[in-house]
Amino acid sequence: MANFEESLKKLEVIVGQLEQGDLALEDSLKLFEEGVNLSATCKQELEAAEGKVQILVKQRDGSQKLEPFLTESPSA
């Protein structure tokens, strides 16, 4: 399985090819499907990384404590 950077680079190439608009419909559809799969893979890897990110929080007594990095969820 490709790592995040490789998947993202390949996705960028696919987007560039699709933007040129000179591919046959069948080839465009295959690339689009591959791009959607790569996008989903990248999203999963980013979500997994986000879950692992921690921040150092300075305590009142001067010590430091690791806490999970929580992002604000969009308000509905």
Calpha distance 52→70 (Å, rounded) = 10
CB atoms within 10 A of CB 56: 8
User: Can you give the pTM of this predicted structure?
Assistant: 0.66
Nearest to 46 by CA among 8, 73, 16: 8
Q: Which residues of the chain have pLDDT under 70?
A: 1, 56, 70-76
Provide the pLDDT for residue 76. Answer: 47
CB 1 within 8 A of CB 21: no
Provide the pLDDT for residue 74. Answer: 54
Structure tokens at 60: 């009142």
